[in-house]
């Protein structure tokens, strides 16, 4: 594994943790969301997504992924889409559905952490055994 691939994985993981931290901070502050904090949350989420995608695609070029990895990547992509959609909808002041969106957003975060982490774990093992 090259240094570039390792660094994109490390920085992606750090940005993911920062995104979760900022998300919790935003949730604790309540609505209306602070513009600066909300913007930082969105930017760290986009950065984490881009770096994680670069990391996974770099590894996928060098390894033949099995069914487990493919399934985990699909779940991770669906989780990212759900996170982006629910995050955008939660920023709109729509109180009747906000609690449901928050639950979906939280579950999608956990799903992304598990599926993305699992995919990276299996891909890393494939590369190490190559």
53 SS3 class: helix
Per-residue pLDDT at 63:
65
What are the helix and strand counts (H, E) for the chain?
A: 4, 0
Question: CA 23 to CA 26: how far, in whole Å?
Answer: 5
Question: CA 81 to CA 76: how far, in whole Å?
Answer: 9
8 A C-beta contact, residue 114 and residue 68: no
Quick: pLDDT tens for 13-63. 888 888 888 888 888 887 777 788 888 988 888 888 888 888 777 777 766
21 SS3 class: helix
Q: What is the mean pLDDT of the chain?
A: 82
């Amino acid at each position: 594994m090259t240094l570039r691939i390792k660094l994109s994985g490390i920085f992606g993981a750090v940005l993911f943790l920062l995104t979760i931290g900022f998300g919790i901070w935003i949730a604790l502050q309540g609505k209306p969301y602070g513009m600066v904090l909300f913007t930082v949350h969105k930017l760290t989420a986009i950065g984490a997504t881009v770096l994680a995608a670069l990391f996974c695609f770099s590894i996928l070029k060098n390894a033949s992924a099995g069914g487990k990895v493919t399934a985990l990547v699909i779940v991770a992509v669906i989780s990212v889409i759900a996170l982006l959609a629910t995050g955008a909808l939660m920023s709109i002041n729509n109180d009747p559905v906000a609690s449901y969106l928050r639950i979906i957003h939280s579950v999608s975060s956990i799903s992304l952490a598990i599926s993305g982490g699992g995919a990276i774990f299996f891909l890393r093992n494939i590369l190490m055994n190559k």
